Amino acid sequence: MERTAPDREDVARIYRRPLLELVFAAAEVHRRHHDPRAMQCSTLLSIKTGACAEDCGYCSQSGHHATDLESEKLMPVDEVVRAARVAREQGADRFCMGAAWRGPRDGRSFDQVLAMVREVKDLGLETCATLGMLEPHQAQALRHSGLDFYNHNLDTSPEYYPQVVSTRSFQDRLQTLASVREAGMKVCCGGILGMGESEEDRIGLLHELARQDPQPESVPINCLVPVAGTPLADAPPLAWDQLLRAVASARILIPQTQLRLSAGRTSMSEELQALCFLAGANSVFLGDRLLTTPNPEHSDDLALFHKLGLQVGHAVEV
Ligand code: SAM
Ligand code: DTB
Ligand code: SF4
């Protein structure tokens, strides 16, 4: 079916609907496009940690901020494969490798990442990587090594972006996303809420995500995990209904996507997570660590999914 890209006013109208109407409409869209019992589960691993050249205001790994994080160089391939095997045993269907780089440099370290991708793919897992900005030939090389998804977030509205990051632009992000598409990979692209942005910025982010053509196959909605020493350590916490509005709006605007309730779940009640799943979130990070910060305990997540009648595994499209 032909889809016309929504304009920003359309997005605002959806976002500002009476909350329960919005959630109900999103739940209907969810059921039309997905098996509502299926929960897609990705596990993250930080393959290279800290000392990043970028100055993202939210991030524990930026070399510009004085955080307590210990930097670590690129992990050996066999350790990554071991972690991926554990993730698979715990129920993950996708393994996402994250590096604190502005972008990969060609040579030994990038070849090492390509080897990781090949070996994780050989375990039968879907593969995802998030390595910063890519040149077109790097995107091609990742694709040829078996990378299914590339994660590259737009993070916030184009207007608010320069308040959060100064070492690159919103346009740089779009350019890498274009290279990822051109190479034939699936796109995982979302953002962070709770960085002191306005409601209008959240609407702007959703608009930018929804107007991509094709739309991202995977959309992570992160809530800021405040990290001491970063410029956003004291950002005011996001109101729960704003998160729910963003999730429900994303489901309506990007109906086919795997919508991930991503970072920040340790600060959410089970009830709020359940509302987000009702409103169309059908994916999470599974495992008790994100990249550098905690995630809910594996056993607590499985208990929650059991309570809600959700099944861990591939979110099958119906
Ligand atoms: N360096 C690469 C990049 O920035 O594209 C990849 C790794 S980076 C840590 C991946 C994403 O994690 C960011 O785009 C951001 O959306 C998310 N993220 C980082 N720190 C976060 C935090 N404290 N809270 C929530 N999300 C965060
Ligand atoms: C995404 O959108 N969220 C993940 C993943 N993509 C790479 C990262 C969350 C990071 C949270 C902060 C941390 O653990 O360092
Ligand atoms: Fe570096 Fe990515 Fe963190 Fe930004 S979000 S400082 S690019 S690791």
Residue 221 domain flag: yes
**Any bridge partners for residue 269, and if so which?**
none
Q: What is the pLDDT of residues 32-73, one digit of tens each?
A: 999 999 999 999 999 999 989 999 999 999 999 988 888 999
Alpha carbons 141 and 103: distance in angstroms, whole number: 14
**Structural domain harbouring 226:** 8-312
Residue 1 domain flag: no
Residue 82 domain flag: yes
pTM score, whole prediction: 0.94
Report residue 258 as tokens.
């795997």
Residue 304 domain flag: yes
Residue 225 domain flag: yes
pLDDT at residue 296, rounded to an integer: 96
pLDDT at residue 317, rounded to an integer: 42
Ligand 1 first shell, C-beta below 6 A: 58-59, 98, 100-101, 130, 132, 152-153, 155, 192, 222, 224-225, 227, 263, 291
pLDDT at residue 99, rounded to an integer: 97
Ligand 2 first shell, C-beta below 6 A: 44, 60, 96, 98, 130, 151, 153, 190, 220, 222, 225, 262-263, 290-293
Alpha carbons 263 and 225: distance in angstroms, whole number: 7
DSSP 189-253: --EEE-SS--HHHHHHHHHHHHTSSSPPSEEEEEEP---TTSTTTTPPPPPHHHHHHHHHHHHHH
* Residue of the CA atom closest to atom 3 of ligand 1: 132
Residue 25 domain flag: yes
* Residues noted as catalytic: 52, 56, 59, 96, 128, 188, 260
Query: How far is the centre of ligand 2, averaged over its atoms, from the C-alpha of 303 (Å)?
Result: 23
Total domains present in the chain: 1
Residue 2 domain flag: no
Computed over every residue of the chain, the mean pLDDT equals 95
Which band of pLDDT confidence, cut at 50, 70 and 90, is reported for residue 316?
very low
pLDDT at residue 2, rounded to an integer: 55
Q: What's the CATH number where 58 sits?
A: 3.20.20.70
Q: What is the pLDDT of residues 199-257, one digit of tens each?
A: 999 999 999 999 999 999 999 999 999 999 999 999 999 999 999 999 999 999 999 99
Residue 318 domain flag: no
Residue 314, pLDDT > 60, answer no
